[in-house]
Structure 1
């Protein structure tokens, strides 16, 4: 074996294989070259070898976020962070305390703040234009000043399932649903300077690496994504790897998506195409087989679902992995039916994101079709409640809410299940997400009743969702997701063992080391 560039030693190493106990890892040229015990590590050393002794820490393969929005996210998270607001009084207090020039912006607003009251602009200030992005990023709340500036005076038709919510008299309420409607106001917001966007994106990546992430799936590659990734990589290696899937909307030129598949850098690449078959349950824009309690969520986001299927066929035939946001049962069924007709061209499996409510008959089809299920545990634990008193559950009703977020059923059926955050929709820290996947409630909140506790994952399943299952979802099962000779030298080290520690305690466990391609990107 060649001399190691880096040797990492710790009391516990979870290789995610059936190998013998390991306490030392040798790394050279960005890959793992040896596994063994501390006593034998001297054989790997050379004059330039760096040795890191972590003591009682636990090392795992590098964690991978299955679903995030880095570039869209740095634009979405402007203004006031409203994710902690729980009442309308709190909303008013936060907005009145925000210093701003011109527009008043906020993000992360939970519709449960409104309780049984209609979601309108009534609680918002009236003296300045206001744009508040709701937590799902599929809807926004704006005030009359913003509507006037955008020239919005009533309902409009859009090529997608977007809409401007209006009252019985046809007057806009300030609630905008889906991207085409949001864009009418969002395009008026002041733009960030390119240098500021580069700083924010790099800062985000460094913070993600410090939380233990070594890679993530970017579910967009729009706007200035290419310029940002190239500019950051021109200044040095990125703190983590990125695998990007550009959006495909009803009016998207599929040829442009194909062209983007050629783009890549040292630690990023475009591979895949991101579709949305529906919107959200909370906004009434999901695609359900039966209407929700408001008579909504009955339609596909595409004007004609056949248009989605046609675009999928074109891209899949060229070897592009298909990624589809599907939340409602009808949407999930249509996506699976579409994928079932595709020939397997790419080594990377197609995948479906979110999967919020579905009947048992759909669960087994993921393994049958070799389609990856991608889920975000904190969507369940942060925004729904065990007693079904939340907006999501009330809209669906008990039967459909009871078959929500079926992570354990998917794993037990043999499906591949990748876990992630959907940042900025929910926090990206994988420690809290792994804990939530096990607890079915927010980490650190033992007083909160778990939501459908029968869907809880085991500790190993939760860790696999960020390691072996994530690697399989990217078609990298033979070179990533495990610690073995010849595999990528991406690893994460925790002060506590994710397989044996109490989940609440693990969520607060320090990340002592993060290594990407054999390079230390974070160390305490």
Structure 2
């Protein structure tokens, strides 16, 4: 492997575009940047970009469930279905091939991302309907958001639930428990899927992920790096509330580098899920959901119990990543952060922050919290927000309002809820419109952020440009992301991805 690479005649994102530059990477560090034509050192590898490519910091996805995302590539996606009848028909057509591809009768057959809006036949999505499709193998179909699912009788039995009299729908904690069991596939199968997805992720310009898989991820990622050679990504391993005690007992602290991972895998935050999702109408809100008989969603904890758990994690040296979607959930979570003593560690986040009271916006900066957002959810859920949060959409997915209030933003996907695609995330953030939504007006365009703000929220360094002394996690791309349109961002040509000075993707 080349320990040094010299880029010649490169444009640099964030630098004057009327100049070309020479960039030297040596021993995993950006060791020199100078205008083309100056004195230069030799290198093991030289690449002449001929003024036709841009070199920039690499990207990160700040919220994934990576094994689930990897396995989801083999599952049927039902996002575009508009009725229970359509879902059932598409599943009926897909099942023969699914049985053939995965002949093990004990493993789940899985559909995903049913996006329920005004389905007239929603009640037809139930256990008995799925039994008519599949009565031999366990079958489960996740609703969009992955906070609820529908299961057939065989699946309920495998999940330890008596099917008789059950409608097959599982929500929130029951759904999350099912998610973990559904993903219990042989290690070799899961690791092969992860390896393939890691390569594809590197080809998007990503060198770092936060993995919030509902598992104690440390052993899995040590195995993947040490035994399987999966080394295309830096991975921060988040851990859920159920893992907090064992993690602290083992001495883990956020930022610790895990052994046997070549420095690639570190301990991430302590993850807490406090409410549900918009699509499931379980996000905890101040106002009731239309047609829900006064239902305002679900909050998982008594406030004091949440505070105690967050306090334990903080005192144990863990940053916090707290899921809050509805405005009432965000209010309660911000109140808990305000009561922490000592305060939350730097880098702690509120995940999603989809619906916020205007009075809560300044608290992100005051409490030094990151708003970890997933812009593609805005594009996917704009119609649901209009339906379920009427009169409040001006403060839904309030990206610019957060920035204006001094909050730091980080962008992610929440894959498999939405695909890993940082270029699409940036495009949505600056345009307030999703892929294929050109026929629709931008949704609350007053909440769009600038290309620079979106870019720095996506880079692995949190900076707009490369600087001498930076870790050599970088990308070579065809265009300047600070000057192109949203559609050009979505179609960005990533020509090379470098992690620690070595190529994880090369198409130059």
> What is the TM-score when the length of structure 2 is the normalising length?
0.87
Is the Cα contact below 8 Å between 1:10 and 1:24 reproduced in 2? yes
CA 224–369 in structure 1, closer or farther in 2 if over 3 Å, else same: closer
Corresponding residue of 2:63: 67
- Matched position secondary structure for 1:286: coil
CA distance in structure 2 between the partners assigned to 1:248 and 1:72 by the alignment: 19
CA 457–184 in structure 1, closer or farther in 2 if over 3 Å, else same: closer
Corresponding residue of 2:296: 297
CA displacement, residues 66-116 of structure 1 (integer Å, 9 cap, x when unaligned): 111113433555532223434445423321222215453212222238357
Corresponding residue of 2:245: 254
* 1:417 and 2:409 correspond: yes
CA distance in structure 2 between the partners assigned to 1:523 and 1:54 by the alignment: 17
CA displacement, residues 121-160 of structure 1 (integer Å, 9 cap, x when unaligned): 2754514242111221111112345345656458xxxxxx
- Matched position secondary structure for 2:282: coil
Runs of 4+ in structure 1 deviating by more than 6 angstroms, as ranges, are 17-20
CA distance in structure 2 between the partners assigned to 1:190 and 1:66 by the alignment: 22
CA distance in structure 1 between the partners assigned to 2:48 and 2:230 by the alignment: 21
Corresponding residue of 1:364: 362
Corresponding residue of 1:454: 446
Corresponding residue of 1:13: 12
Structure 1 position 215, deviation (Å): 0.9
CA distance in structure 1 between the partners assigned to 2:177 and 2:402 by the alignment: 36
What pairs with 1:476-495 in structure 2 (closer than 5 Å)?
482-495=465-478
CA 184–192 in structure 1, closer or farther in 2 if over 3 Å, else same: closer
* 1:146 and 2:155 correspond: yes
Corresponding residue of 2:285: 288
Deviates more, 1:118-127 or 1:268-277: 118-127
Is the Cα contact below 8 Å between 2:13 and 2:481 reproduced in 1? no
Equivalent of 1:105, from 101, 104, 110? Answer: 110
Structure 1 position 511, deviation (Å): 0.8
Number of residue pairs aligned between Structure 1 and Structure 2: 485
CA displacement, residues 9-64 of structure 1 (integer Å, 9 cap, x when unaligned): 4542124x899956222111111111112323x61214x24435264122221111
CA distance in structure 2 between the partners assigned to 1:505 and 1:19 by the alignment: 18
Structure 1 position 278, deviation (Å): 1.0
Structure 1 position 347, deviation (Å): 5.9
Is the Cα contact below 8 Å between 2:3 and 2:28 reproduced in 1? no
CA distance in structure 2 between the partners assigned to 1:240 and 1:370 by the alignment: 27
- Matched position secondary structure for 1:300: coil
Is the Cα contact below 8 Å between 1:7 and 1:51 reproduced in 2? yes
CA distance in structure 1 between the partners assigned to 2:272 and 2:202 by the alignment: 27
Equivalent of 2:202, from 209, 213, 221? Answer: 209
CA distance in structure 1 between the partners assigned to 2:226 and 2:18 by the alignment: 38
Corresponding residue of 1:277: 274
CA distance in structure 1 between the partners assigned to 2:93 and 2:361 by the alignment: 47
Structure 1 position 225, deviation (Å): 5.0
* 1:175 and 2:185 correspond: no
CA displacement, residues 225-247 of structure 1 (integer Å, 9 cap, x when unaligned): 52344333344461121112101
CA 314–276 in structure 1, closer or farther in 2 if over 3 Å, else same: same
> What is the TM-score when the length of structure 1 is the normalising length?
0.84
Structure 1 position 271, deviation (Å): 2.5
Name stretches of at least 5 consecutive residues in structure 2 with no aligned partner: none
Corresponding residue of 1:349: 347
CA displacement, residues 438-480 of structure 1 (integer Å, 9 cap, x when unaligned): 121113431123221111111111111112xx646xxxxxxx7
CA distance in structure 2 between the partners assigned to 1:228 and 1:108 by the alignment: 26
CA distance in structure 1 between the partners assigned to 2:304 and 2:17 by the alignment: 48
CA 510–85 in structure 1, closer or farther in 2 if over 3 Å, else same: farther
Corresponding residue of 2:215: 222
